[in-house]
Amino acid sequence: MYMMRSPQRHLKHLRRYREIVRVLIRHGFGGLVDQLGLLPALSLPRRLLSRGPVGPPLSAPEHVRLAIEELGPTFIKLGQILSTRPDLIPPAYIRELIKLQDTVPPADGEAIKARVEAELEGTLEELFVSFEAEPLAAASLAQVHAATLPGGQEVVVKVQRPGIEELISVDLEILFDLARLVQERTPLGELYDLPEIAEGFAFTLRAELDFRREGRNADRFRRNFADEPALYIPRVYWEYTTSRVLVLERIRGIKIGDIEALDAAGVDRHRVGENAARIILKQVLEDGFFHADPHPGNFFVMDGAIIGAMDFGMVGHISPALRSDLTRLYVAFVDRDSEAVVEQFLRMGAVGYQVDRAKLQRDLERLLDKYYGLPLKEIRAQEVMEDVLPIAFRHHLHFPPDLWLLEKTLVMMEGVGLRLAPDFNIFDVVGPHVRRMAWQMVSPHAWGRRLVKGIGDWGELFAGLPRQAPRILDRLEHGQLEFILSLKETDRAIGRLDRIGNRLAISILIAALIVSMALLMPLVAAGGRGFAFWLLVVGFLIAAFLGLMLLLSIWRAGRQRRR
């Protein structure tokens, strides 16, 4: 373990390890502690395992949430990220992790003052006309203070809590240790690459500790919405910003979830809801860069029903390819085509070889039947996601993390929209945009782009064949060319070996013909339509015929497997 590697770090890690183990045992997870062999490694007595959960009877998911909150900021952030991963966590645990609270008492005022002065290289009196000691908000990683710059601009100062980096560094190293132990000693290791998940979490958390990244996110949103009058993004004061201190323009307004205050101010709530939906859809479907924490506390309604946004630390990215995949999924769901949904999952790499396609398709058909014939106004994104979560966990659907962030964002957006306007329906807003994207995907312009790209890829392939072919043939001649096949069911594999061998032979023959034609091309170019030219034509026809026969054989085998 990490704690055994360095004498200088030994005591710090040992104390934290023991604290984590005691919290786990206190919340009823002594069996896991024993399975991982942590007690002897930490020189702790086995009698600790006899201590049961403390307090009133609670469910296992509730104990997980309470343990995470007790373990502090690193584990709270891990729980919040896991709450967006239904492919990893059962639905009951997801519902509890969503409740995780990230509010803590403010840090010592003198420590905050010292951090700001050290980061900005000046005293508070020199840097600000005023700086309120009482924070506007305090969380586990940072807290926010109101201040005024020498030029009179009202700002908010986000300050990283002193000592948080060291604590997170120790916790992340311990998490890597625990991930490896769980990978080696529990059945979870057969389903997931836990060290890789821990590494991804560490990258996300370390990025969140760099406030310059959050400032760049704000600037990017401002550029993306330069022509949108309904959204206001506060200015970043870069001359007062470092990796540990972020200074933003302070915006004033009514919190978007404060319905009574909005009504008292005469705000058109329906208009605000439509603006919010349009803004989110632009982020997702056009920009591929979206605010991934759209809870009501991060948005204000300013004068003129303008929405002011705050807190740009958590963002999501949706690539053009993923947007196309989501569009196909939406169309397949609307068409109630469960087979097309499964095929799209396979195309996206969301299901592994071990998935039972028949069971997955049956679960999807039940889901689609539940909503068949219902008008859109009676369908809620929150309800749909609650139905999707068990399917995602049961079949271990491995979607990109940003996709689960998007799901969370849409559900939160629907919640805000429903509070603003009870008749708000997210599908009414999303549907036209997705249908427009679907038409764009099959437009001649889109097909033209894909065709040009395909021609370029084939051109690179044929250009590289003269160089690669001698190496391939040499390895084939010396028996160094290996074809590795991973077969799940050996009894069925034996019956397929003959067909595989035939396809392999045809593939090698096609490759040989292509290489031969490549070698003949210089002769054809020099001699015109002579013997070499007609030999090249015949070779091309044979290669094309064999290629079509091979593709037809593969297609027929695929149809038979689906049956």
**189 with 42, same domain?**
yes
Furthest-apart CA atoms within the chain: distance in Å: 93
How far apart CA 175 and CA 198 sit, in angstroms, is 7
pLDDT of the residue at 402: 80
Domain that holds residue 532: 483-562
Q: Is residue 21 part of a domain?
A: yes
**130 with 214, same domain?**
yes
**116 with 172, same domain?**
no
How far apart CA 523 and CA 251 sit, in angstroms, is 74
Q: Is residue 64 part of a domain?
A: yes
Q: Is residue 443 part of a domain?
A: no
Task: Please check whether residue 348 is in contact with residue 402, taking contact to mean a CB–CB distance below 8 angstroms.
Answer: no
**71 with 127, same domain?**
no
Q: Is there a catalytic annotation at residue 293? A: yes
pLDDT of the residue at 426: 64
The neighbouring-strand residues paired with 232 are 308
How far apart CA 107 and CA 159 sit, in angstroms, is 10
**202 with 216, same domain?**
no
Among candidates 130, 78, 137, 83, which has minimal Cα distance to 107?
Answer: 137
Q: Would you give per-residue pLDDT tens digits along the chain (563 residues)?
A: 444 443 344 556 888 888 999 999 888 888 888 888 888 888 777 777 776 666 677 888 999 999 999 998 899 988 888 887 777 788 888 888 888 876 778 889 999 999 999 999 999 999 999 999 999 988 888 999 999 999 999 999 999 999 999 999 999 999 998 898 888 888 877 777 888 888 888 988 888 899 999 999 999 999 999 999 999 999 999 999 999 999 999 999 998 888 899 999 999 888 888 888 888 888 888 898 988 887 777 899 998 889 999 989 888 888 888 888 887 887 787 777 888 888 888 888 887 767 888 898 899 888 888 877 766 566 677 787 788 878 888 888 877 778 777 877 777 777 777 777 777 666 666 666 666 655 555 555 544 554 555 555 556 666 666 666 676 666 666 666 565 555 444 555 555 566 666 666 666 766 666 666 665 566 555 555 566 666 667 777 777 777 677 667 666 665 555 55
Query: β-pairing, 306-309 with 142-148?
Result: unpaired
pLDDT of the residue at 461: 60
157 sits in the region (left: phi over 0; alpha: psi -120 to 50; else beta) called beta
Entry pTM: 0.69
Q: Is residue 392 part of a domain?
A: no
pLDDT of the residue at 196: 86
Q: Give the number of other Cβ atoms within 10 Å of residue 295's Cβ.
A: 13
How far apart CA 540 and CA 201 sit, in angstroms, is 52
pLDDT of the residue at 158: 96
CB crowding 114-150: b at 16 or more within 10 Å, else e: ebbbebbeeebeebbeebeeebeebbbbbbbbbbebe
pLDDT of the residue at 171: 92
**492 with 550, same domain?**
yes
Q: Over the stretch 183-212, which tens digit does the pLDDT of each residue have?
A: 888 887 777 788 888 888 898 888 889 999
Tokens 């939160």 correspond to what residue?
412
Q: Is residue 423 part of a domain?
A: no
Task: Please check whether residue 406 is in contact with residue 316, taking contact to mean a CB–CB distance below 8 angstroms.
Answer: yes
**115 with 234, same domain?**
yes
Boundary-marking domain end, from 141, 175, 206: 206
CA distances from 528 to 114, 140, 267, 520 (A): 83, 77, 80, 12
Tokens 């997170």 correspond to what residue?
168
Task: Please check whether residue 405 is in contact with residue 316, taking contact to mean a CB–CB distance below 8 angstroms.
Answer: yes
The neighbouring-strand residues paired with 315 are 291
How many domains, the chain?
3
CATH number at residue 117: 3.30.200.20
Give the DSSP letter string of 273-292.
Answer: HHHHHHHHHIIIIIISEEES
Residues near 153 by beta carbon (within 8 Å), at least 6 away in sequence: 237, 249
**86 with 34, same domain?**
yes
**148 with 224, same domain?**
yes
**Structure tokens that stand for 178 in this block:** 């625990």
**178 with 71, same domain?**
yes
Tokens 């604290």 correspond to what residue?
19
Q: Is residue 371 part of a domain?
A: no
**508 with 543, same domain?**
yes
Task: Please check whether residue 251 is in contact with residue 234, taking contact to mean a CB–CB distance below 8 angstroms.
Answer: yes
Boundary-marking domain end, from 195, 227, 250: 250
Per DSSP, the three-state class of 61 is helix
Query: β-pairing, 154-160 with 245-249?
Result: antiparallel
**157 with 173, same domain?**
no
Q: Is residue 141 part of a domain?
A: yes
Q: Is residue 76 part of a domain?
A: yes
pLDDT of the residue at 9: 44
pLDDT of the residue at 447: 47
| 3-state SS string for 383-417 | HHHHHHHHHHHHCCCCCCHHHHHHHHHHHHHHHHH
Q: Of the listed 87, 177, 293, 311, which one is catalytic? A: 293
